Amino acid sequence: MKRETQRYGVFTRRALLMMGGQVALLGTLGARLYQVQVEEGSKYTTMANDNRISARMMAPPRGRVLDRFGVVLAGNSINWRADLIAEESNNVSATLDNFSAIIPLSDYERARIEREVHRHRKFIPILIKEFLTWEEMAKIQVNAPDLPGVVVDNGTKRIYPYSDQFAHIVGYVAPPNERDVADDPLLALPGLRIGRSGMEKFHDLALRGRAGSVQLEVNAVGRVIRELDRLEGVQGEDVGLTIDAGLQQSVLKTLKDESASAVVMDCRNGEVLAMATNPSFDPSLFNSGVTQAQWVKWTNDKRTPLINKATSGLYAPGSTFKMAVALAGLESKAITPYDRFQCPGYFDLGDARFHCWRKGGHGSVDLAGGIKFSCDVYFYEVARRTGIDRIAAMSHRLGMGTELELDLPGQRAGLVPTREWRTRKGRGWAIGDTVVSGIGQGYIQVTPLQLCTYAARIASGRAVQPHLTRHLAGVLQPGSQSDDYPSLAVPEKMLHTVRQGMWAVVNEAGGTAPLARLGEGFGQMAGKTGSAQVRRVSRELRESGKFDSEKLPWEYRPHALFVAYAPYDAPRYALSVVVEHGNAGSAAAAPLAKEIMLAAMRRDPVNRTTAPDAKVAQVQ
């Protein structure tokens, strides 16, 4: 009995110990559960959501570039792309190997991805491949379990509905480079593009917009179950240009295949209505990457399709420069409108002989006749009497040889030289340099945009500045009124004298541009022809009578130029045309200027609120 009692006591103690142990364990477990569920509940909820929810940043849609009537010149369309979120992949290299087995990656693409993975924060998506087809996108989705961290997203890509017609104005976009991303990490977002040229570059910050985000529910292998929340990015601002798309197309049609440029401007306020450069390029190629073969083709083309000739092409202005020389002479009182100079066909200065374009000469010529007949000898004498510094000062006031306040990157200032400029070059200025400058040759270089500005300033008497931005985010920009620009401070009487000469060039018998005369109902145009040599012609060859520039190789022929404004009695449109190696301005450039001016006056964009034939592209 005693033994039984002892055995029962031992069992009871063991049971109590076991129960105590169980209570302790349950207490510990309960305490831990309380800690996990109550004290640290929010922490583990967050961790669970982190495993369940994938948060991604999204590049915002880029703002559009529009013409003055709302026609889309640069817009957006859907772009399927594959991104990699490094923090969701345990082995990035293995993930890329699996991806390459589905959609091949080049060595360059692979190296870029791995470089960006190490450079950027793990939560920032890295672009693997874009411009995917529907079939490629579907393959990625089907193989999602083998591609942890790889997501398919639909962003936007930049499209240019009119291909090469506005390339030099609108410009193009391209992926950010490493230096861009170093300055702004958000530029690493897949699908984001930055402006590299044209208005895309000038207004890049406004066009970019602000990034958005999306939250997606994913399963254990990373497959997207559903979208939980989306905060759309803020689309970039729309930029409205002064350009009339229809007029630009008419200008390009008129230029045909000529290597040429033309600018049309509202001469009252400087709004650029058309700025055409021929040949051009397709800006959309830069969006996805230009091939080496295409780049070599562009750079080897002697007609330079990548250069905006209107703002960066430098040309001697030739005889179109003569109005600036005349105004400088009148303002300095070196001449009067009634002074007459004899033109025998040449001008002798010491041992040097400077020829007039007309071999037999023009006889006795005054200022009006000098402009009308484009007499070189008359302007040799005016330049000699006036001096290069006064000519340069007037030229700069008229917009030539100086940087304009243009809202377009890449313009070149050109050159109208002075004595001081020549001294800086280590040589003195010779009187012969002044004489040859009187006909727009020598060291003088200007752009077609400067020539158009020059014509607009003569027509308006104001220092109008060319500009291309009309609206930004729907707000009309300054510079839309003629009163926004100061007077040239050139006496109206002097301007009137020069304008009469330009009128005679086109409308009087014997003028050098009868082919530019407008038809009935369009008023009259005032203009000036010019031909600019690109290589010196020796005195012996010129006097032999055997010289014929049309027989020279294309690249050695003179450039053909024309500047004008119309209507003469109420100036509204100014223009310039430069035909590279076109020989004579009267034959090559003046007829083109006539067709362009007629197109401008028929459309009359400065007096319209809607385009007569606008075809709005269906793009975002």
Q: Which of 212, 240, 268 is the last residue in one of the domains?
A: 240
Q: Are 566 and 601 in contact (CB under 8 A)?
A: yes
Instruction: State the Cα–Cα distance between residues 159 and 283, nearest whole angstrom.
Output: 9
Helix (H, G, I), strand (E, B) or coil at 75: strand
Q: Cα–Cα–Cα angle for 282, 286, 289, nearest 5°?
A: 125
Tell me, yes or no, whether 65 and 181 share the same domain.
yes
Cβ atoms of 317 and 532 closer than 8 Å:
yes
| Residue the block writes with tokens 């929810």 | 53
- pLDDT the model gives residue 215: 67
Residues in the chain: 620
The verdict on 373 and 344 lying in the same domain is yes
Residues 6+ apart with CB under 8 A from 346: 353, 354, 355, 356, 361, 377
* pLDDT tens sequence across 356-375: 999 899 999 999 999 999 99
Q: Decide if 445 contacts 233 (C-beta within 8 A).
A: no
Q: Are residues 75 and 206 in the same domain?
A: yes
In whole angstroms, give the CA distance from residue 195 to residue 207: 9
Strand (E) positions, 4-69? 53-58, 65-66
Question: Do residues 406 and 488 share a domain?
Answer: yes
Asked which of 240, 256, 287 is the last residue of a domain, the reply is: 240
pLDDT score of 156? 77
Domain count, the chain: 3
Residue 48 within a domain: no
Question: In the chain, which stretches have pLDDT less than 50?
Answer: 47, 541, 546, 616-618
Q: Residue 529's pLDDT is what?
A: 96
Residues 14, 12: Cα–Cα separation, whole Å: 5
Does residue 596 fall inside a structural domain? yes
pLDDT at 160: 93
Cα(263)–Cα(274) distance, rounded to whole angstroms? 6
Tell me, yes or no, whether 222 and 263 share the same domain.
no
pLDDT at 45: 59
Statement to judge: residues 535 and 549 lie in one domain: yes
Residue 620 in domain: no
Do 203 and 265 belong to one domain? no
Q: Which range marks the domain in which residue 21 is found? A: 2-39
Catalytic residues: 319
Based on the fold, state whether residues 323 and 440 are members of the same structural domain.
Answer: yes
Are 221 and 334 within one domain?
no
> Which pLDDT score is estimated for 175?
83
E strands along 356-504, which residues?
363-365, 469-472, 475-476
CATH of the domain at 164: 3.90.1310.10
Q: How far apart are CA 234 and CA 58, in angstroms?
A: 10
The tokens describing 404, both together, are 């304009």
Here the CATH number for the domain that contains residue 440 is 3.40.710.10
SS3 252: helix
In a domain, 440, yes or no: yes
Q: In terms of domains, do 254 and 378 share one?
A: yes
pLDDT at position 526: 97
Report pLDDT digits (tens) over 409-465: 999 999 999 999 988 888 889 999 999 999 999 999 999 999 999 999 999 999 999
Is 588 part of any domain? yes
Pair 256, 128 in one domain: no
For residue 296, tell me if it sits in a domain: no
What single letter denotes the amino acid at residue 339? Answer: D
Same domain, 440 and 426: yes
User: Hey, what are 225's tokens?
Assistant: 């179950």
| 169 touches 468 (CB < 8 A) | yes
